[in-house]
């Protein structure tokens, strides 16, 4: 089953404009109406994704990570040099925790529809730990955004599509101040 252009366009619009969660995207997943998941399962999927990000990514709890990510997990948009597997994501989580011991994340949007969850988060931390992206520790405070579309199947995270503001993060690591994203509408 392929992710439709509607969800990608709607999610990108949410990422760029910072729209409220209530005005989230319309998602078409290609399943017959009888197979569409209930609102309750969407809430459960959001809770699974939230726990994976909060416990695994922010707190570095890899026991929780393994409980929530399927062994056959596929990252359709891995970062350059990263594996598209569960282990690739685990290494990313560890690298972020090692670089930013005080890593914090705020979710602006958590929206579920069927087996897909869209999450827009802002990360903040101070680069006092390990080097990141070949940039030595500089003690600089950073702030960067990420948008993920995650598929949850049978209680496990099985797929991810996402974008992270890597250019902005890299500029901040090298000493450029964080610039707030400009609001604009897609045409």
Task: List the CATH number of the domain containing 69.
Answer: 3.10.450.50
Classify residue 14 as exposed, middle or buried by CB count within 10 Å of its CB (0-12, 13-18, 19+): buried
Q: Is residue 171 part of a domain?
A: no
First to last CA, the chain: 28
In this structure, the dihedral spanned by the alpha carbons of residues 44, 160, 114 and 33, taken in order and rounded to 10 degrees, is -150
Residue 74 belongs to what H/E stretch?
Answer: strand 69-75
- Tens-place pLDDT, residues 36-60: 445 668 899 999 999 998 888 888 8
| Number of structural domains the chain divides into | 1
Full domain range(s) for residue 74: 5-17+38-118+149-163
According to the model, what pLDDT value does residue 8 have? 43
CA distance 94 to 85: 14
Q: Is residue 23 part of a domain?
A: no
Q: Is residue 85 part of a domain?
A: yes
pTM higher than 0.95: no
- Tens-place pLDDT, residues 140-164: 999 999 999 999 999 999 999 999 9
Q: Is residue 176 part of a domain?
A: no
Q: Is residue 66 part of a domain?
A: yes
């Amino acid at each position: 089953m392929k992710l439709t252009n509607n969800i990608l366009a709607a999610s990108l619009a949410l990422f760029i404009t910072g729209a409220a969660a209530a005005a989230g995207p319309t998602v078409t997943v290609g399943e017959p109406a009888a197979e569409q998941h209930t609102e309750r399962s969407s809430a459960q999927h959001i809770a699974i994704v939230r726990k994976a990000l909060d416990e695994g990514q922010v707190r570095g709890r890899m026991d929780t990570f393994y409980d929530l990510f399927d062994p056959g997990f596929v990252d359709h948009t891995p970062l350059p040099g990263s594996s598209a597997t569960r282990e690739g994501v685990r290494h990313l989580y560890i690298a972020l925790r090692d670089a930013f011991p005080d890593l914090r994340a705020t979710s602006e949007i958590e929206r579920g529809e069927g087996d897909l969850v869209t999450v827009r988060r802002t990360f903040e931390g101070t680069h006092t730990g390990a080097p990141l992206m070949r940039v030595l520790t500089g003690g600089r405070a950073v702030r960067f955004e990420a948008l993920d579309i995650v598929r949850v199947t049978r209680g496990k995270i099985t797929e991810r599509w996402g974008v992270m503001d890597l250019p902005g993060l890299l500029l901040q690591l090298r000493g450029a101040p964080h610039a707030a994203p400009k609001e604009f509408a897609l045409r």
